[in-house]
């Protein structure tokens, strides 16, 4: 029995007989170049996905404590207020003041250990990225737009702002109109 299939015994397609081998070779090269291009694109996309995943994991690790640290800031504020309210210690309050002072120090040390940094800008130029202006006052002898009073310290976590410092800013003195 003879097999009248669509291929020759050598595996070639009879419909391609007489086709230009150079054209066929060029077509195969184009297909190869296309496949190489797709491969490189897929490989680049895979590398980008790995980098994105690593960056996301790094950010999750760095800022996992953000909400927790932000919730602790009022406790730190209250310890500082307690020390300020004590005034001059008496024999009866000296031990209490020392206890609050030690508690405040250990609390601050723990926050610094986890890269929570204080933003205390007294005397520095106003920075709207780190400070929130609560008021502006004329302050003779002070540079305009500098912080003259810190109402509440600010804090950052790994360089990201947790809470802006609430500040009072010096405003420029009014100019005296010389033409009047």
**What pLDDT score does 52 carry?**
94
Same domain, 78 and 99: yes
Whether pTM exceeds 0.85: no
- According to the model, what pLDDT value does residue 6 have? 52
pLDDT at residue 165 in the model: 96
Is 121 found in the same domain as 107? no
95 found inside a domain: yes
E strands, the chain, are 116-119, 131-138, 147-152, 154-157, 160-163, 165-171
User: Which among 36, 56, 59, 37 is positioned nearest to 48, based on CA atoms?
Assistant: 56
Sheet holding 116-119, edge to edge: 116-119, 154-157, 160-163
Report yes or no on 37 lying in a domain: yes
The residue among 114, 136, 152 that closes a domain is 114
Do 105 and 123 belong to one domain?
A: no
- Residue 6 is assigned to a structural domain of this protein: no
Identify the domain containing residue 129 by its residue range.
Answer: 115-174
What confidence score (pLDDT) does residue 65 get? Answer: 86
Please list the rounded mean pLDDT of every run of 10 residues in the chain (180 residues): 51 60 91 94 94 89 85 93 87 89 95 93 94 92 91 93 95 68
Query: Which pLDDT does position 166 carry in this prediction?
Result: 96
| d(C-alpha 174, C-alpha 171), whole Å | 9
Q: 170: which strand partners? A: 137
Tell me what pLDDT residue 31 has: 94
Beta bridge partners of 147: 169
Which CATH number do you get for residue 155? 2.30.22.10
Q: Tell me, yes or no, whether 45 and 74 share the same domain.
A: no
pLDDT at 174: 75
State residue 178's pLDDT score. 54
For residue 2, what pLDDT is reported? 47
């Amino acid at each position: 029995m003879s097999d009248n299939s669509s291929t020759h015994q050598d595996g070639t397609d009879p419909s391609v007989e007489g086709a230009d081998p150079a054209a066929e070779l060029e077509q195969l090269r184009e297909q190869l170049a296309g496949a190489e291009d797709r491969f490189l694109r897929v490989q680049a996309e895979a590398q980008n996905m790995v980098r994105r995943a690593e960056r996301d994991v790094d950010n999750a690790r760095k800022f996992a404590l953000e909400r927790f640290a932000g919730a602790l800031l009022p406790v730190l504020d209250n310890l500082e207020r307690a020390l300020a309210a004590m005034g001059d210690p008496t024999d009866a309050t000296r031990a209490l003041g020392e206890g609050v002072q030690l508690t405040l120090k250990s609390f601050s040390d723990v926050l610094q250990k986890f890269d929570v940094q204080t933003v205390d800008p007294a005397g520095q130029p106003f920075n709207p990225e780190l400070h929130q202006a609560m008021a502006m006052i004329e302050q003779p002898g002070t540079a305009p737009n500098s912080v003259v009073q810190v109402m509440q310290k600010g804090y950052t976590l790994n360089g990201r702002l947790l809470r802006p410092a609430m500040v009072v800013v010096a405003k420029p003195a009014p100019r005296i109109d010389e033409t009047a």
